[in-house]
Amino acid sequence: MDIFKNRRWLVIPVSITGSIDFGQVLEASPETLRLSVDGTQTFVKYDINIVEEDYTVVVPNLETGQESSYVVYAGIYGRPDIYSPEYPEYTHQPMLDLLATPEWTQPLPTE
């Protein structure tokens, strides 16, 4: 079971970190963001909800006894406002692979 099935990572330029609503992502503040080695990129992580097909929710009104309903449409929900398709969004393993590259992790010094 993949515990990060619904987790996503969005790589963004550091120049837009002032636009992050930290109530919508799992990082706490700008100080908790990890930067790329060159300091130009960072990422935020968040959980999404994928709805595969439309469905109807019926809700009873406890005061009147009448029911109302609404439709939940198929789609991806939970992305933060900073999300844009122009920035790459990753799932768990591809993000781990990215973070293992020299752009994100400096090699340990050799003696």
Share of the chain above pLDDT 90, in %: 87
Residue 50's SS3 state is strand
Helix (H, G, I), strand (E, B) or coil at 63: coil
User: What are 26-63's pLDDT values in tens digits?
Assistant: 999 999 999 999 999 999 999 999 999 999 999 998 88
Instruction: Spell 93-110 as b/e; 16+ CB within 10 A means b.
Output: eebeebeeeeebeeeeee
Check whether 9 has a pLDDT greater than 80: yes
With CA atoms as reference, report the closest residue to 35 among 46, 24, 27, 47. 27
